[in-house]
Chains A and B, each alone.
Chain A
Amino acid sequence: RRQGDSTPKRSIQLSDIVEKRVFNNEDAISTPKRKPKGDDNDIKRSALKNSAIIRRRNSTTAVAGAMTPTQKLKMLRRGELSPTMENRSTTALSASVKSKSDLQLARERLHVSVVPQSLPCREKEFDNIYAFLEGKIQDQCGGCMYVSGVPGTGKTATVTGVIRMLQRQQQADELPSFDFVEINGMRLTEPRQAYVQIYKQLTGKTVSWEQAHSLLEKRFTTPAPRRVTTVLLVDELDILCNRRQDVVYNLLDWPTKSAARLVVVTIANTMDLPERLLMGKVTSRLGLTRLTFQPYTHKQLQEIVTMRLSGSEAFKSDAVQLVARKVAAVSGDARRALDICRRATEIAEAAILPKDSDHVKSTKKFVSIAHVQQALSEMIASAKVQAIKNCSCLEQIFLQAVLAEVTRTGVEETSFLGVYSQVENLAAFEGLNMPTTGNCLRICSKLCAERLLIAESGRNDIFQKILLNVSVDDIHYALRVNGI
C-alpha cells in the first residue's frame, strides 16, 4: 500500500535489494549474510593480496593460493570464507525415495526436524505474530513481542514460519525490505556474545563483543536515511538474563530508539518471566504485546501427526490417538508425540524384519496399537524398578534395610549405623552370612553411584547420612514381585 508513495530513492534501493535476492536465488529462510560487495571478486582480490604478501615474505617457496592457518583464521573472522562440511563420497548416495518402504517414509516424515510448510493448530498464533510483524515493518518503527509456552508447542516454528512468509512477500515486492537476525541464548557461551552474533549476522564479520556492542549501538542510535527494518529473533531469552541484565536491557532498549527500526521477538518458556526474572526497566521495555502458546490438546496432537502422515497407510488411527492422548496428558509436547510415533515405527519394522521379508512384505506394514504401547512403555516407564529388580541379593537387602530404618524412625534421612543394624537383622532373618561393614559400605557406594540412594561421601563411613532416591512403593513393588 505504502510502497507506491515512498520516495523514489527508497524504491530504487528496494529494487536493488530485491534484484540481488532474485539473483542469489535464496528462497529458503536466510539471514542476510551481507557479503562484501562483489564477494567473489573480493575473495579473489584478497587471496591475491595474501599470496602477494607471501611472495614478498619468502619469494622462493610460496605457492599462490596456499594459506597459512593464521590467514585462514583472518579470512574466517572477516567472513570471507564460509564454513562448509565435508561431503559424503558420491558412491554412497542416499537411498532413493522409491526403494523406501511405507514405514521408512512415515518415519522420515515424522522426524522433528522436518517442519511442515504450514503448522496445523497454530493458525491463530500465526496470524497474531504475522499481524504484529507486518504492522511493524510497514510502519517502519520498532517494537517488542514476548512469546512464551512450554517446550514443544511450536513457538520457534511458528515465528520462523511467519518470517519466511514475510520474506516471501518481500521478494514479491509487497512489503518493505527487512533484515532478519536470529540468536539463541543456548548457543551462546555468554550473554555478551549475543552482540557478536548479531553483528556477525548483519555484516558477516567476527569481532570482539565490546567492539560489536559499540558498532551495534552506533547503528541503532544514529539515524541513517536508508535504514532498513531489522527483525531480531531472540530464542531462549532467560539464558541471556545475567545479574546485571545489561544484554537484555540493550536488546530491548534499541527498539525504543526512533533511529533503530528494530523489531525484537523474544521467545522463552515461562509465561511470567518478565515479572519474575527481569528488572522493572527491562520489563517495561518488553511491553505488553505477549502471546502464550498453550500446550497441545490430544485432538491437536492427533491432527499434527495425521497431517504429517497424510497419504501414508503406516499408522492405524487408533494408534495415533493413543499416542496423542498419552502425551497430551503429560506435557502436550509435540516433539514427544512425534518421537514416540517414530519409535513405534521402528518397533513395528523390527517386528517384521526377523521373519522372511519377502513373504510379509505385502501383508502387514503398519503400526498397530501394540507397537505404540511398547514404545510408550519404553519411553515413559521407570528404569528404577528394573534396576532394583536386577540388584544383587545383598543390595536388595540393603535397600530393604534403608526402608525399614526409614519406617522405624519416621525420618527420611537415616544414618549408616542404623541401616547396618537393620541389615544385620534382615540377614539373620534370611539366614545369610552376616555382611561386614566394609562390604555394606561398598554396597552403599554402589547404590549411591546408581542413584538409588543418596549418600554422603564414604569418608565419614558409619556416620554418613543416607536418603532413599526411589519411592518406597517402587522398592516394595520391585522386591515383592521378585520374591514370589
Chain B
Amino acid sequence: MDVCKTITEKFPCRKKIVKELINLISYDEEMFPNAIHIHGHTGTGKTTIIKHLLKESVRRNNENVFNVAFVNCVESYSSRILFENIAETLCSENAEEVKVENLKDFVERLRQLKTEDTRYIIALDNAERLRDMEANVLPSILRLQELSGLNLCVILITQLPLEKFYCKTSIDEPIIVYFPQYTKSETLKILSADFKNAQNLLISQLQRNKTENLEQKIDVINTVSRDFFNNYLNLFLGVFYKACRDLSELKITARKCFTYYMTPILEGNVDMSDVSRLWRCVAGQLRTALMQVYIRNGQPKSGAELNDKDSVKIAQSLELPYYGKYLLIAAFIASYNSSKEDKRLFVKNHGKRRKRMQAVNAKAKVAEKMSTYIGPKSFSVDRLLAIFYAILEEKVGLTCNLLSQISTLVNLKLLSFVSGENSMDGTSRLQCTVGLEFIVCISQVVGFNVRQYLCDFN
C-alpha cells in the first residue's frame, strides 16, 4: 500500500479511487484486466493521477517488468500514428525503425514482444478520439490483451461515459472507473494546500514592484496563518463555486485574488482580523475576476475597463474604408429585416399604406419569432447592393473596388457565405455575422442612424 500512500499524499481526497486503481493494476501476481475506462469531468485529476500512479509503479518495479506507454489521442490523430507512438514506447530497444502501417502490424509487433512476466500498460488520454478512427480501432484496442497474448491493460481516459463509445458492432465492456467532481469542502482542502505558493507569489510580486516598506510588508505576509488563508478561500469559494468547479482554474484565480485581498492589509488600512471590512474591500475585485474566469489574459482589468463592451472596442479599432462600413451596415440591415419591409424603408415614394388588420397583427410579433432572437437571415448580393445604394446618400459607381470589398468583408469574417460560395451568377447568399452594438458603433462613426432602419430592434 506504499504506492497508495504516496499518491494520496500528492492528491488528497482521491483515496478511494486510487485504491481501486491500485487493486486493478498494481499487484504483480495478478493478471491485468482487459481494459479500464476512466471518465470524469475536466479538472478532476484523471490524467495526472494516472500518470503519477503509472510512474510510481514503474519506479517501484523495473522498467523491464512494468512497461508503460502514455499516449494522447489528440496528438495521434490517425490510427497509424497512434500505433507507432505506442509501439515506439513499448519496444524501447529499436525505437528508430518502428514502422506500423495498420492494426495487423501493430498486433504482430506486440506479439513479438512476448516475454515472461513483463506487464504492459497502454494509457490513452482523450480516448474519445478513438471513435473517429477506423471502425476496427476501438473494438480491437479494448481486447488487445486477447489479441496480443500479453499481460497488457489498456486505460482509456476521457470525459465521456462509456455509453458514447458504443458502436454498431459492439465493444467489449471495460471496467469503468468514475472520477466524481470534488465537493466544496474537498476543493477547499485542496486549495488550502496551495497556501505556501500563494505566499511566495505575493512576496515575489512585491519584490518585483519595488514597493516601499518592503521588509515590513514581507514580515506581515509571513505572519499570515493557514487559518487566515482558509478564511479567504471560504470567501473566495462563496463567490466562485457556483460558476466554476474546475480545480486548476480555481487555483489560478485564487492566487491572483489573494493579492487583492492582502493589499488593504499591507497598506495598513485594515486590520487582519477585521474580516467583514476585508470582504467589503475585495468583493468588487472578486466579482470582476468572476467575469474573467477561463479568460487568462495576464493581469485582470479594473471594473471600469471591463464595463466597456468588447465588441464596441473591436468596432472602434477596426479600420474599415468608408464604403466598406456602409456595406457592412447594409448587410446588417439586410440580415435583420425581412425583405417585405424593404419597399417601405428605402423607396422614397412607396405610396400610401392602408392600415389593415392583417398588417397590425403581423406587426405584433411574438418575441421568439423576431429576428433578434432567431439570428441573422441570409440575403443575396443584389439585395445588399440595393440597400447599400439606398442608405448611401451620394451616388457611387459600381466598380470592382466596391465589389471586392464584399469579399474582403467575407475574408474578415464580418460576413459569411451561407450557400453558393463559388458561383458568380448571383444565386449565392450571404449572412451578416456581427452584433447590434458593433453596427451601432460603426454607424456612429460614419454618422448614420441605423436604428431607424431596423424593425425588430428597439
Interface string of A425-454 (1 = CB under 8 A from B): 000000000000110011011101100000
Inter-chain contact total with CB atoms closer than 8 Å: 32
B163 close to A442 (CB less than 8 A): yes
Task: Determine whether B170 belongs to the interface, using a CB cutoff of 8 Å to chain A.
Answer: yes
CB distance from A98 to the nearest CB of B (A): 46
Bound Cα distance from A449 to B135, whole angstroms: 13
Bound Cα distance from A442 to B162, whole angstroms: 9
A449 close to B168 (CB less than 8 A): yes
CB distance from A436 to the nearest CB of B (A): 10
A458 close to B161 (CB less than 8 A): no
Q: Which residues of A contact B164 (CB under 8 A)?
A: 458-459, 461
Residues of B162-187 whose CB lies within 8 A of A: 162-170
Q: Which residues of A contact B170 (CB under 8 A)?
A: 445-446, 448-449
A457 close to B168 (CB less than 8 A): yes
The interface size bin for chain B is 10 to 19
Chain B residue, CB-CB nearest to A462: B163
A438 close to B163 (CB less than 8 A): yes
Q: Which residues of B contact A449 (CB under 8 A)?
A: 168-170
Chain B residue, CB-CB nearest to A449: B170
Q: Which residues of B contact A446 (CB under 8 A)?
A: 170
Q: Which residues of B contact A459 (CB under 8 A)?
A: 131, 164
CB distance from B336 to the nearest CB of A (A): 31
Q: Which residues of A contact B161 (CB under 8 A)?
A: 438
B163 close to A448 (CB less than 8 A): no
Q: Which residues of B contact A457 (CB under 8 A)?
A: 131, 166-168
Bound Cα distance from A459 to B164, whole angstroms: 5
B168 close to A441 (CB less than 8 A): no
CB distance from A54 to the nearest CB of B (A): 30
Q: Which residues of B contact A438 (CB under 8 A)?
A: 161-163
CB distance from A89 to the nearest CB of B (A): 30
Chain B residue, CB-CB nearest to A464: B166
Interface string of B116-146 (1 = CB under 8 A from A): 0000000000000001000000000000000
CB distance from A369 to the nearest CB of B (A): 41
Interface string of B350-390 (1 = CB under 8 A from A): 00000000000000000000000000000000000000000
Bound Cα distance from A461 to B166, whole angstroms: 9
Q: Which residues of B contact A437 (CB under 8 A)?
A: 163
CB distance from A260 to the nearest CB of B (A): 44
A461 close to B167 (CB less than 8 A): no
Interface string of A383-406 (1 = CB under 8 A from B): 000000000000000000000000
Chain B residue, CB-CB nearest to A444: B166
Bound Cα distance from A380 to B299, whole angstroms: 76
Residues of A453-481 whose CB lies within 8 A of B: 455, 457-459, 461
Bound Cα distance from A442 to B167, whole angstroms: 10
- Beyond A438-B163, A442-B163: 16 further Cβ-contacts under 8 Å? A437-B163, A445-B170, A446-B170, A448-B168, A449-B168, A449-B170, A455-B168, A457-B131, A457-B166, A457-B167, A458-B164, A458-B165, A459-B131, A459-B164, A461-B163, A461-B164
Nearest 3 interchain pairs by C-beta: A449-B170, A458-B166, A445-B166
A-B contact pairs, 20 of them (CB 8 A): A437-B163, A438-B161, A438-B163, A441-B163, A441-B166, A445-B166, A445-B170, A449-B169, A449-B170, A457-B131, A457-B166, A457-B167, A457-B168, A458-B163, A458-B164, A458-B165, A458-B166, A458-B167, A459-B164, A461-B164
